[in-house]
Structure 1
Amino acid sequence: MSATTTNTQDDSLVEYGFNRVIITITAVLCALLEIVDTTIVNVALNDMRGSLGATLTDVAWVITAYAIANVIVIPMTSWLSQQFGRRNYFAASIIIFTVASFLCGNATDIWELIIFRFIQGLGGGALLVTSQTIITESYPVAKRGMAQAIYGMGVIVGPTLGPPLGGYLVDTYSWPYIFYINIPIGIIAALLTLRYVKSPKYGEKLSANQVDWFGIISLAGFIGSLQYVLEHGQQDDWFNDGTIITLSTISFFSLFFFVWRQLTYKYPVVNLKVLKDTNLRVGTILSFIMGFGLYGSTFIIPIYTQSILGWTATDAGLLLIPSSLMTAFMMPIIGQLLQKGVPQKYLVAIGFLMFFFFTFWMYNVMTPDTGEEYMYWPLIIRGLGLGLLFVPITTLSLSTLKGKSIGEGAAFTGMMRQLGGSFGIAIITTFIARFTQEHRVNLIANIDATKTQVQDRITQMQHGFMAKGFSANEALDKAHKVLDMSVMKQSTVLSYMDIFLYLGVLFLVCIPVILLIKNNKNKVNISEAMH
């Protein structure tokens, strides 16, 4: 394709005035819908378990099924857009997501719900990367940093918005409404997509016998098995469980055959050769770590506030709102700084430094009875850090790519951000369990029953229970249980402190990695993606 033709197509995709506003709103809504649905169900799992008669292990699949489908589809979005046309593929994905949301709300047993969540994830996976490309190509080159910032609002705010919104809907109505809320938005988004979104011209479509079915199956085997291992490893005792061992083996060999196929097949479903670009390789690593921090912190803070401080799910979710508002506030500012030529790597370095300050601050304020006021400013710093990370990492990753390689690169960064979140939650869950046990052993070793202070504490609690009508033996037993619970609570707080400290070290160590990034003066032309 000649440069003249490419430029003509680029110009034809740029929108102005009302059309651009509508396309922007549609794309952001779709990205927000997809991201919110990754976290909105977390606060409804208990209600689902009760109404559907499911076990805790079974109901966890409601999250796992969606995540597996999501991560499988993301790296294939560029290829699927070329096969069906971007507008058609985007509209079809919205429709699949919306219909599956209705079916989820009407599920009569847990396995129906799991199947419909998987289908919903297949539709939702396309919304992230495709939304990013659509919203960016609708803006002129000079304003594409701002376009990335607008898109980034939905991606960053979404995980934080899920828990409080889900908590409100479950408390006020019932759990099916966390799915029903998607239906009117999905219908409007599909109609607006068919009416206003344009699709770039593509080359010839592949015939059925040219499609890389082996690549698709091996990708699904790799991602699906890996996602299950990450989601269920801790509760199933990792490699002491036969299923975990089997799926880990499947994941490893699927990855091996997938990489071999993509590098040797004429029509690969995922173009791995694009990873030869140094900036993209570094960008995917940074995207992974950003996902680790974004989803990991969104996961651990509600657990801490609910299990240790005794907050409701809604209150725990609301705590994260100021952080999200700070991120949303920062996005357009970062977009303007990029347009003025501020190097992305400096903004990314500052973003990682802000995240280190956030984790170190949380490490210092966490106690068994920390008040909301002590967590407000650290979370504001978190929002500032995320604002400094998302847009610069995305534009930096794609800054030396051209043509359809940009769309393929965007798919890699999106996939790695999601995988980073999965790894983050799995690792955090594992280390919380292990650190808690270690701290409990250490604390119990320091409780000497011969010490007067310990004896006085137990006697005081025993008398308190006896005053409530319990016998001396019953009161003594309850006093020991209360002391054990107190030790367990303190051990858990110490494990959370350790997690924040290690997260902070991770972000600090990443700053030198940014020095590997090439300085690039060219602006990213994402509208060339997938041409």
Structure 2
Amino acid sequence: MQEQEEDSLVEYGTRRIIITITAVLCALLEIIDTTIVNVALNDMRGSLGATLTDIAWVITAYAIANVIVIPMTSWLSKQFGRRNYFAVSIVIFTVASFLCGNATNIWELVAFRFIQGLGGGALLVTAQTIITESYPAAKRGMAQAIYGMGVIVGPTLGPPLGGYLVDNFSWPYIFYINIPIGIIATILTLTYVRSPKFGEKLSVKQVDWWGILFLASFIGSLQFVLEHGQQDDWFNDNLITALSVISVFGLIAFIWREMVYEHPIVNLRVLKNNNLRIGTIYTFILGFGLYGTTFIIPIYTQSILGWTATDAGLLLIPSSITTGLMMPFIGKAIERGVPQKYLVAAGFIIFFIFSYWMHNLMTPDTGSEHLFWPLVIRGVGLGLLFVPITTLALSTLKGKEIGEGAAFTGMMRQLGGSFGIAIITTLIFRFNQQHRVDLIPNINPTNPIVQNRIQGLQQLFMGKGFSANEALARAYQVLEGTIRIQGTVLTYMDIFLYMGFAFLICVPFVLLIKKGAGKVDTSAVH
């Protein structure tokens, strides 16, 4: 009966194409909005009169709402019907986008971004489930590949698109651009998407309100700690310490509640599935690599190489195109029975090669031509990781468990990204300090080489009309700047090296994947 229900949702021809485009469009919308604001923060700060700490909440509020709602999407779909829930989420996201663009002060914008995040979080997982349901069993690997194109390309498109809109129009347009797409997606969803029959809905009294509260306190607090930990000096800050404690106790209370309550908001029992457990761990690592590298490369090119935000964003486009081109081939390989664990192992090895190559490339003068091929290799690595990990995680689940599994992988990818950015930000700060301490002795004025360098710079500035003392001070400033740049370059070299080894260490653990998991259980995928 269940298999008949699943088969009844399979679509063919033009109808399937329209549903696929709608779902990928919504996933793209959501993911682009996580990164598009990054390049507009300065303009927002100026026009809304906000401090640097205040403006960071524009990113944090969206991320917190996103990561709270993702684990609940499977339950909400059952409660309201998948099509209705998906359509309402698009409407919430679209209306909130309009309100964000019209915000008159920073806290209005933060509140509307939170609402936008609640709508957006649902789009990712529900889009994945809708696409998977619309394809027959034999084509499910290809379905994940199509969905993966949106998820992988999205974070990369955000910065260049945001840069273009800010440079040529104004920051509200990064939100207004969502409105026409949202309207079209809502109409297409209501016209074409169908809902599976989930059985009885819960009454208000049966809803797991405590589960929702514990989940929100655990995930919300954790996301805040990860976003603000470094700038607030981690556990030296009372708020960070308090939220860390709330997060730990929230997690314990959440797990207890979900295991004992009859109608849990998140079905944790689905994690008894070995493939899903391994898949969620690898999805976390994938999120770390995807969002971590998308975060660090633009910072390096802007702070060291002096590139504009738009140029820094455009640099990542070849990597995304490579991933997009690879996705259908990976989908085909999985359909033909190539074991996922070999593809995942190859992806981790290629990501190590990319990271090690970047480590060796880092200089204050690195050009876009030097970065092109390593970033293409990154695209190959992401392509080899995303589809196999996602299909592996869901491969031995049955029926409604697929939606629940997709919610876990979606949450872990987002949390992996948050952990990645938090760890990288902390390492940049710590390594920078250490390299500065190590490099300072190299500008000892008693060293003849240093003396010659200082005298040469002093003569240069004196030739431009500065007095001897002013020229000497400026010579030391130049040396100080050189030390700062060299320290920062060494920092990025270290981060890429450690990141590479983290991926390499994962390769042996791929062997934990049980025999027979390499092929998708096509009768089960839903």
Q: Same fold judged by TM-score > 0.5?
A: yes
Quote the Cα distance in structure 1 between the aligned partners of 2:71 and 2:468. Answer: 65
Asked whether 1:405 is paired with 2:401, we answer yes
Asked whether 1:309 is paired with 2:305, we answer yes
- 2:457 pairs with 450, 454, 461, which one? 461
Asked whether 1:116 is paired with 2:116, we answer no
- Superposition deviation, residue 526 in structure 1: 8.8
* Conserved 8 A contact 1:361-1:378: yes
Quote the Cα distance in structure 2 between the aligned partners of 1:461 and 1:237. Answer: 38
- Superposition deviation, residue 475 in structure 1: 1.7
Residue type of the partner of 2:520? K
- Name structure 1 gaps, 5 residues minimum: none
The residue that corresponds to 2:369 in the other structure is: 373
- 1:252 pairs with 243, 248, 255, which one? 248
- Superposition deviation, residue 406 in structure 1: 1.3
- Superposition deviation, residue 83 in structure 1: 0.4
- 2:201 pairs with 194, 200, 205, which one? 205
* Conserved 8 A contact 1:133-1:527: no
Asked whether 1:281 is paired with 2:287, we answer no
Quote the Cα distance in structure 2 between the aligned partners of 1:465 and 1:219. Answer: 61
- 2:494 pairs with 494, 498, 505, which one? 498
Residue type of the partner of 1:249? V
Secondary structure in structure 2 of the residue aligned to 1:224: helix
The residue that corresponds to 2:520 in the other structure is: 523
The residue that corresponds to 1:187 in the other structure is: 183
- Name structure 2 gaps, 5 residues minimum: none
Quote the Cα distance in structure 1 between the aligned partners of 2:516 and 2:495. Answer: 36
Aligned length in residues = 525
| Change in CA separation of 1:360 and 1:394 when aligned onto 2, cut-off 3 Å | same
Q: Deviations over 1:91-132 (max 9, x none)?
A: 000000000000000001111000000000000000011000
| Change in CA separation of 1:523 and 1:114 when aligned onto 2, cut-off 3 Å | same
Quote the Cα distance in structure 1 between the aligned partners of 2:93 and 2:467. Answer: 59
- Superposition deviation, residue 528 in structure 1: 6.1
Quote the Cα distance in structure 1 between the aligned partners of 2:250 and 2:448. Answer: 62
Asked whether 1:364 is paired with 2:367, we answer no
The residue that corresponds to 2:152 in the other structure is: 156
* Conserved 8 A contact 2:140-2:525: no
- Superposition deviation, residue 256 in structure 1: 0.9
The residue that corresponds to 1:449 in the other structure is: 445
Asked whether 1:15 is paired with 2:11, we answer yes
Quote the Cα distance in structure 1 between the aligned partners of 2:505 and 2:523. Answer: 30
Quote the Cα distance in structure 1 between the aligned partners of 2:30 and 2:178. Answer: 10
The residue that corresponds to 1:45 in the other structure is: 41
* Conserved 8 A contact 2:392-2:520: no
The residue that corresponds to 1:268 in the other structure is: 264
| Change in CA separation of 1:280 and 1:73 when aligned onto 2, cut-off 3 Å | same
Asked whether 1:54 is paired with 2:50, we answer yes
Asked whether 1:99 is paired with 2:95, we answer yes
- Superposition deviation, residue 400 in structure 1: 1.5
The residue that corresponds to 1:236 in the other structure is: 232
The residue that corresponds to 2:163 in the other structure is: 167
Quote the Cα distance in structure 2 between the aligned partners of 1:59 and 1:524. Answer: 47
The residue that corresponds to 1:24 in the other structure is: 20
> TM-score, normalised on structure 1?
0.98
* Conserved 8 A contact 2:61-2:114: yes
The residue that corresponds to 2:510 in the other structure is: 514
- Superposition deviation, residue 523 in structure 1: 2.9
Residue type of the partner of 2:329? I
Give the stretch that moved more between structures: 186-195 or 133-142.
133-142
Quote the Cα distance in structure 1 between the aligned partners of 2:203 and 2:469. Answer: 79
Q: Deviations over 1:451-493 (max 9, x none)?
A: 1211111122122222222222222112111111110111011
> TM-score, normalised on structure 2?
0.98
Asked whether 1:34 is paired with 2:30, we answer yes
- Superposition deviation, residue 278 in structure 1: 1.2
Residue type of the partner of 2:303? S
* Conserved 8 A contact 2:443-2:479: no
Give the stretch that moved more between structures: 368-377 or 290-299.
368-377
Matches within 5 A, 1:470-485: 470-485=466-481
Asked whether 1:127 is paired with 2:120, we answer no
Quote the Cα distance in structure 2 between the aligned partners of 1:89 and 1:249. Answer: 33
| Change in CA separation of 1:459 and 1:328 when aligned onto 2, cut-off 3 Å | same
